Structure 1
Amino acid sequence: MNSSGTTATAELGLRLVVPDRAAVPLVARLDYTAEDPYAIKVAFHVGEDEPVEWIFARELLTVGIVRPVGEGDVRVWPAKGDGERAINIALSSPFGNAEFNAPISPLAEFLHRTYEIVPAGQEADFVDLDAEIAQHLS
């Protein structure tokens, strides 16, 4: 795991849940930057091809550790079972659906570092609204 004063990066081992088969282990890279304080970019490494990238609301992953959250394309909820605490993440797109299971501990550690960079409730202080508007108008 890496972090600086404005960014945090981590690799997270998770499992792709495949119906009627053993879960497939894979790695996801999580990236956070104060320049986009509401979002976490997750790149799923699924083989030799370029990673599949999704952008999650930081709050969605945080809340999903303790209770089910999300509608539509992204849903997150605590996993039930024995042993290590885990989280489930379900993704849906026009190209298909996927469900992942990941250990909570490394994810919670990463999220903690993001909140050290940009505390909860202070995200708007890190957004340059004028620059965002100018970018969309050009």
Structure 2
Amino acid sequence: MNSSGTTASAELGLQLLVPERTSVPLVARLDYTADDPYAIKVAFHTGEDEPVEWIFARELLTVGIVRPVGEGDVQVWPSKGGDERTVNIALSSPFGQAQFDAPVAPLAEFLHRTYEIVPAGEEADHIDLDSEIERHLS
């Protein structure tokens, strides 16, 4: 896991839950930056040349550790996988669906580091709203 004053990243071992098989292990890279304080970028390394990238609300992953949350394309809920607590992440898009099982401990550690960078409730202080509006109007 890496951190600086404004960014955090981590590699997270996941299990892709496949109906025909028990599960397939894979790695996801999580990235957070104070420049986009509400979001966590997750790159799923599926064995293809390029990873599959999703952007999650930081709060969605945080709440999903303790209770089911999310509607539509992304849902997160806690579970118990063997001896350790895990979190399930279900993704849906026009291209397909996937469900992952991730250990809570390293995910919670990563999330904790993001809240050290930008505490909850202070996200708006890190966004330059005028430049965001300008960027979208250009």
TM-score interval, normalised by the smaller of the two chains: over 0.9
- The Cα shift of 1:107 comes to 0.2
| Counterpart check, 1:57 vs 2:57 | yes
Looking at structure 2, the residues matched to 93 and 81 of structure 1 have their Cα atoms a distance apart, in angstroms, of: 26
- The Cα shift of 1:82 comes to 3.5
Count, aligned residues: 138
Over the aligned positions, Cα root-mean-square deviation in angstroms equals 0.8
- Percent identity, please: 82
Looking at structure 1, the residues matched to 99 and 117 of structure 2 have their Cα atoms a distance apart, in angstroms, of: 29
Query: 16-25 or 76-85, which moves further after superposition?
Result: 76-85
Aligned residue for 1:47? 47
TM-score by length of 2: 0.98
Stretches of 4+ aligned residues off by more than 6 angstroms = none
- The Cα shift of 1:81 comes to 4.5
Could you tell me which runs of 5 or more consecutive residues in structure 2 were left unpaired when the two chains were aligned. Answer: none
Query: 49-58 or 81-90, which moves further after superposition?
Result: 81-90
CA deviation digits over 1:75-115, x for unaligned, max 9?
Answer: 00001354111000000000000000000000000000000
What letter is aligned with 2:109?
Answer: E
What letter is aligned with 2:13?
Answer: G
Looking at structure 2, the residues matched to 91 and 38 of structure 1 have their Cα atoms a distance apart, in angstroms, of: 19
Aligned residue for 1:30? 30
Aligned residue for 1:116? 116
